[in-house]
Amino acid sequence: MSHGCKHYSLPVLVVLLTVFAAAVVGVIKPTSANGQRAAGPPWNPRKVPAGTVFLSDQACTECHKKFGSFATTGMAQAMEPIASSKVLSENPKLTMQVGPYTYEIQRDGKQSTYSVTDGKQTISLPIRYAFGQGRMGQTYLLERDGKFYESLVSFYNEPKSLDFTTGAARTVPPSLEAAVGRLLTANEVSSCFSCHATAALNGSQLRLDTLVHGIRCEACHGPGGEHVAKLKGGESGATVIFNPGRLNGDELTQQFCASCHRGTSEFAALQNMELNNVRFQPYRMFLSKCYSGDRSISCTACHNPHEPLKEDVAYYDNKCLACHSLRGKPAKAGATTSCPVADKDCTSCHMPKIEIKTAHFRFTDHYIRVVKPGQPFPN
C-alpha cells in the first residue's frame, strides 16, 4: 500500500462502515461546517417524498442567472434525450460482433434502434433512454415486455465504437435473449433514473412522464415551489430550500455526493471492484491521508457543481496550495508541509489518471497520495 493509506484494524473498519451506512439511510440532517443547521429542509436526491412537485430550471434562473453555465456541465447532461442525442446523431450506425451475435445501433430521424441477431433471429428495440453525456461513453436503457434492460454493449467516445458495457461479463452470451442486455431490478431502475434525471421518482413510483433529462437544480436543492413563492412575496426563501454547500465535509462528500458517486457506505463492495473503483471519487478521497472530513477537502473544495469541469492543472494547483505551502517559501499560518519535488502540476503526481482499458477512459484518481513508479494500484 502506498504512502498516505489509512490502515484500519477490522473492528475499527466495522465501526466506520456501520456509521457511514447509518448516515446514508434516510434523509441527510444538514449541519454547516461550524455546527449550525444548514438552511433549508433535509433533502436526499435518491429519496424523493411522494407528492413532491418540481418546477423547472427556468424558475431558478430567473434569480440565479449566474448559473446559466450549469446546462453544459456533466451532471446536467447525465442523460441525453434520444430525439436530440448528440452521440447517437453523430454516430448513426454502430456495429459490434460478439461470437455469433451481431449488434447494431441504427439512427433513423430522431429515433435510434438497438438490434442483435444470431443470423437466424433478430431482436430489435427502440432505445428508450441514453445514460451518460458521451465524454467517456453512453449506455442505453431498453424496454421489452414492460421490463427494462441495460444494453449489453455501450458506446465509447475514445474509439468511437461499441464495446461491452462497463461491469458486464465480457463473454459470449448463452442465448439471443441474454445477448440483448441485463434485466434490471426495480431498485436498479430507480437508482439509474434518480442519479441521471430529475423528477423521475415520486415516492417509490417511477414517473417517466415528468422526467427531466439530466441532474437539474431541484435534483440537488429539492423542490423550489415554496422557495420561489416566498421570494415573490418579499420573504426570505432560505429556510425552504436545501443548500448542500452548507453541509460539513463528511455530510457533503460521503453522504450527499456519494449517494450517486458512491462512497464509504459501500467500502467492501468497492474494494472488491479493484481497479474499477477508481471511478468512485468519494470512496477514493476517503482513503487519502489528508482527508479529515472537514470542508477543506470536500468535493466542492475543488469542484464547482454549477460550472463545467475545469481541465486546467494550474486551477487545481491553487486548490492544493490553499493548504500546502510552496516549496522553498515561508509557510503561511496553518499550512502543511510542501512537496519537496515541485511547486506546480500537483495533481499529475498526487492524483494520477488511471486508465481502465475496458472503459476506454483515464479517470483521475481521487486517492490523494505520494505515487511512486511501479507501485500496484491500491484498492
User: For residue range 275-302, what is the model confidence (pLDDT) as tens digits?
Assistant: 999 999 999 999 998 887 766 789 999 9
Q: What are 103-158's pLDDT values in tens digits?
A: 999 999 999 999 999 999 999 999 999 999 889 999 999 999 999 999 999 999 99
Q: What are 236-250's pLDDT values in tens digits?
A: 999 999 999 889 889
CA dist 338 and 215 (Å) reads: 38
Among residues 159, 156, 160, 179, which one has the least CA distance to residue 169? 179
Confidence band for 194, pLDDT divided at 50, 70 and 90? very high
Mean pLDDT of 74-84: 96
pLDDT at 354: 95
pLDDT above 50: residue 340 = yes
Beta strand residue intervals within the chain, DSSP E: 79-80, 93-98, 101-108, 111-117, 122-131, 137-144, 147-151, 153-156, 161-164, 181-183, 197-198, 201-202, 205-206, 212-213, 353-356, 361-364
Q: Which residue has the cell 437544480?
A: 217
CA dist 258 and 291 (Å) reads: 15
- Strand 137-144 relative to strand 122-131: parallel, antiparallel, unpaired? antiparallel
pLDDT at 357: 95
Mean pLDDT of 90-104: 98
Q: Which three cell numbers stand for residue 321?
A: 496550495
Residue 335 to residues 222, 295, 297, 349, 370: CA-CA distances in angstroms? 37, 15, 14, 20, 18
Confidence band for 9, pLDDT divided at 50, 70 and 90? very low
Q: What are 300-323's pLDDT values in tens digits?
A: 999 999 999 998 889 999 888 887
Q: What is the pTM for the complete model shown?
A: 0.85
Q: Assess contact for 26 and 47: CB atoms under 8 A.
A: yes
